[in-house]
Amino acid sequence: MDSDTTISPSRWARLLPMIVLMLCFAVAETALHLIALIQFIWALVNGEANDQLAEFGSSLSEWMSQNAKYLTYASEEKPFPWAKWPDAQD
């Protein structure tokens, strides 16, 4: 059998983290929608955005970016929960 067509055990080891991260991404997407809706209502009522929600939304979107890069093999670094939660980007 040609070595190019064989999948090494280390490649199979990536499967479980990918499944976990795909499920987490779906939850994060729902959370992002809720944050956006709550932020819109907050801004309507108070005339300005909630800083804590904006900061969390920023760090959540950064995590989603890291997650997508790992899932698409653009990065080998596993995102949270295998690494530190990302800081909010300015």
Q: Following DSSP, what letter does each residue of the chain receive, concatenated?
A: --TTTPPPHHHHTTHHHHHHHHHHHHHHHHHHHHHHHHHHHHHHHHSS--HHHHHHHHHHHHHHHHHHHHHTTS--S--TTSSPPPPPP-
What is the band of 41 on the pLDDT scale with cuts at 50, 70, 90? Answer: very high
- In the predicted model, is pLDDT for residue 59 greater than 80? yes
Domain count, the chain: 1
Domain assignment present for residue 25? The answer is no
Domain assignment present for residue 81? The answer is yes
* pTM for the full predicted model: 0.84
Query: Measured between alpha carbons, how far is 68 from 32 in angstroms, rounded to an integer?
Result: 15
Domain assignment present for residue 83? The answer is yes
Residue 66 lies in domain: 48-90
Q: What is the pLDDT of residue 89?
A: 81
Domain assignment present for residue 23? The answer is no
Average pLDDT over residues 8-17: 86
Average pLDDT over residues 33-60: 97
Q: What is the pLDDT of residue 6?
A: 66
